[in-house]
């Protein structure tokens, strides 16, 4: 017997290929609600056939927060727990039971494990907490893009994190991000003091190769009084350095990477980012030193700021190349083997290892 009424809600547009998998994952809920924002494929038809409550609404001008709020409005008022997901996401089986075990009437929101990126073996390579399970009232979605739940209640918001409720993300690589930049520019125009949106806008400029715009915007982020989260500040500093590196202004890049390390010395990311710069400049002792610093950090912070290169085989690959150039062949072989064990099909690593072993054998002769 379930203790609470649980409803899933979502927005959709042209996602027919995800419908069956998503509904199967969400069907542990009592009811599922979807606001379709203008599908031209079979998304709505497939959802309805599987028993999902569907409405259609064209939103002009497009904003993610407006769409999310209209989908939340579809959820009945007697619902105890709302669960917002996207159609390219899948819960691990048993999520409803785990949710009921931890939910209390005073709770307002739950954070849970989100595997944002998986490798071909279904292993998480980017994972962090997300917080889209919440009580029915006192919440609204804000921001045109990278929208977040905003608490409106008069009482204290009560949140907990639950590791064993796991949501996996299987994104559509063909889906365009073209709307993100203008929506982020709108977000910053609407709330020029919002540190999160300013950081996202600077990052988006960087993705587009708008190096100077990115630098200016990320510096604006760092100068905001409420930009106090060290992980995000470190990321802004790294991105500034990345832009200067692309502009071939290596001294400025190095300066900003030193700032990034000083800001968050507990993260691998700035050490690896600086190792990339040293690699480009063929400063092999610096690459070696920075890789060792990175490897001394063993705690993987569970936030959205997770660089894949910090926790895959990149650090061993870089260390092996640096060791090779420093004529430390045994260390080069050892680290190449570690890198290869994490990516056995990598032909370049296989070739590197063969060359190193051949050199080692020649030395013995």
Whether the predicted pLDDT of 175 surpasses 90: no
Q: How far is CA 181 from CA 201, 202, 232, 331, 345, in A?
A: 7, 10, 19, 45, 36
- The answer to whether 194 touches 187, Cβ cutoff 8 Å, is yes
* Residue 121: predicted pLDDT: 86
- The answer to whether 123 touches 100, Cβ cutoff 8 Å, is no
pLDDT tens digits for range 324-333: 999 999 999 9
∠ CA 177-182-186 to the nearest 5 degrees?
A: 135
- The answer to whether 62 touches 11, Cβ cutoff 8 Å, is no
Whether the predicted pLDDT of 364 surpasses 80: no
- Whole-model pTM? 0.91
Residues of the chain with CATH 1.25.40.10: 180-364
Cα–Cα dist 109/103, whole Å: 9
Percent of the chain residues past pLDDT 90, beyond the cut: 91
Residues of the chain with CATH 3.90.550.10: 6-169
pLDDT tens digits for range 114-160: 999 998 889 898 999 999 999 999 999 999 999 999 999 999 999 99
* Residue 365: predicted pLDDT: 62
Cα–Cα dist 322/29, whole Å: 53
10 Å CB burial of residue 233 (0-12, 13-18, 19+) is buried
Compute the average pLDDT of residues 261-288.
98
Do strands 159-169 and 6-12 pair parallel, antiparallel, or not at all (unpaired)?
Answer: unpaired
Cα–Cα dist 19/24, whole Å: 8
The residues facing 142 across adjacent strands are 148
Q: Which of 6-10, 80-84, 198-202, 297-301 has the lowest mean pLDDT?
A: 297-301
CA-based R_g, the chain, Å: 24
Compute the average pLDDT of residues 278-290.
98
- The answer to whether 58 touches 33, Cβ cutoff 8 Å, is no
Q: Which CATH superfamily is domain 6-169 in?
A: Spore Coat Polysaccharide Biosynthesis Protein SpsA; Chain A (3.90.550.10)
∠ CA 18-33-129 to the nearest 5 degrees?
A: 70
pLDDT tens digits for range 64-101: 999 999 999 999 999 999 999 999 999 999 999 999 99
Work out the mean pLDDT of the chain and round it to a whole number: 96
Identify which of 94, 97, 124, 127 has the alpha carbon closest to the alpha carbon of residue 112.
127
Q: Locate tokens 């918001």: which residue?
A: 157
Percent of the chain residues past pLDDT 70, beyond the cut: 99
- The answer to whether 223 touches 179, Cβ cutoff 8 Å, is no
In CATH terms, 180-364 corresponds, of 1.10.3720.10, 1.25.40.10, 3.10.150.10, 3.40.430.10, to 1.25.40.10
**Phi, psi (rounded to 5 degrees) for 291:** -65, -40
């Amino acid at each position: 017997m379930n203790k609470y009424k649980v409803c899933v809600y979502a927005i959709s547009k042209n996602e027919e290929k995800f419908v069956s998998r998503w509904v199967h994952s969400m069907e542990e809920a009592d009811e599922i609600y979807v606001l379709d924002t203008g599908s031209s494929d079979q998304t709505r038809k497939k959802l309805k056939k599987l028993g999902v409550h569907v409405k259609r609404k064209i939103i002009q001008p497009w904003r993610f927060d407006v769409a999310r709020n209209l989908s939340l409005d579809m959820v009945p008022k007697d619902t105890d727990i709302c669960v917002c997901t996207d159609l390219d996401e899948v819960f691990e089986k048993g999520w409803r039971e785990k949710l009921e075990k931890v939910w209390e009437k005073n709770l307002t929101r739950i954070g849970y494990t989100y595997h944002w990126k998986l490798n071909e073996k279904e292993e998480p390579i980017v994972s962090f907490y997300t917080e889209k399970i919440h009580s029915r009232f006192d919440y609204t979605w804000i921001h045109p893009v990278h929208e977040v739940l905003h608490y409106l209640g008069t009482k204290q918001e009560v949140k907990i994190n639950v590791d064993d409720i796991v949501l996996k993300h299987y994104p559509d690589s063909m889906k365009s991000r073209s709307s993100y930049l203008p929506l982020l520019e709108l977000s910053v125009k609407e709330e020029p003091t919002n540190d999160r949106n300013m950081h996202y806008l600077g990052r988006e400029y960087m993705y587009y190769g708008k190096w100077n715009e990115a630098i200016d915007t990320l510096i604006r982020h760092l100068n905001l009084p409420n930009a106090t989260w060290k992980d995000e500040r470190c990321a802004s500093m790294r991105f500034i350095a990345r832009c200067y590196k692309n502009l071939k202004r290596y001294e400025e890049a190095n300066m900003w990477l030193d700032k990034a390390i000083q800001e968050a010395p507990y993260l691998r990311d700035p050490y690896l980012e600086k190792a990339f710069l040293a690699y480009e400049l063929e400063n092999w002792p610096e690459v070696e030193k920075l890789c060792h610093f990175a490897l001394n950090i063993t705690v993987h912070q569970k936030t959205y700021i997770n660089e894949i290169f910090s926790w895959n085989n990149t650090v061993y690959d870089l260390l092996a190349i640096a060791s090779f150039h420093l004529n430390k062949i045994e260390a080069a072989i050892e680290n190449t083997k570690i890198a290869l064990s994490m990516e056995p099909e990598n032909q370049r690593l296989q070739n590197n290892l063969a060359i190193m072993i051949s050199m080692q054998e020649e030395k013995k002769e």
